[in-house]
Amino acid sequence: MSDNQNKPQRPRRFIAGAVCPKCSEMDKVVMFSNDDGEEVRECVACGYSQTSTEQAVEDQQAQELATRVTPVDGRFGYDEGEQPLKILGLPDK
Ligand SMILES: [Zn+2]
């Protein structure tokens, strides 16, 4: 571990069993606190990072979506092919 460039004071701990939402690697996600006191999850494999605030927003959106989806005869009307597009990082023009 020698890639701590400017924040060597931040202890990072791996989250056992956590899967990166971006690259799907397991056990590559570390958690640490940033200057705002937020917990940040960062993937050491692809560089993906997300603060607890962003995570909470996404969780809330996901819950809202889930509650709108009504299971039909035991089959959830919501599978990989039907997820709504999530647009992140819109170009700022
Ligand atoms: Zn990743």
- Residue 9: φ, ψ to 5°: -85, -10
- Domain span at residue 15 reads 8-60
Q: Please give the distance, rounded to the nearest whole angstrom, from the Cα atom of residue 26 to the centre of ligand 1.
A: 8
Q: What is the pLDDT of residue 68?
A: 81
Q: Are 31 and 40 in contact (CB under 8 A)?
A: yes
For the chain, the domain total comes to: 1
- Separation of CA 29 and ligand 1 centre (Å): 7
Helix (H), strand (E) at residue 43:
strand 39-43
The tokens for 37 are: 């006191």
In a domain, 69, yes or no: no
- At 15, which CATH number? 2.20.25.190
Taking the centre of ligand 1 as the mean of its atom positions, its distance from the CA of residue 72, in whole angstroms, is 34
Interval 42-71: pLDDT, tens: 999 999 999 989 989 999 999 998 888 666
pTM (whole model) above 0.75: no
Q: What is the pLDDT of residue 11?
A: 85
Nearest Cα to 41, choosing from 33, 18, 50? 50
Position with higher pLDDT, 8 vs 50: 50
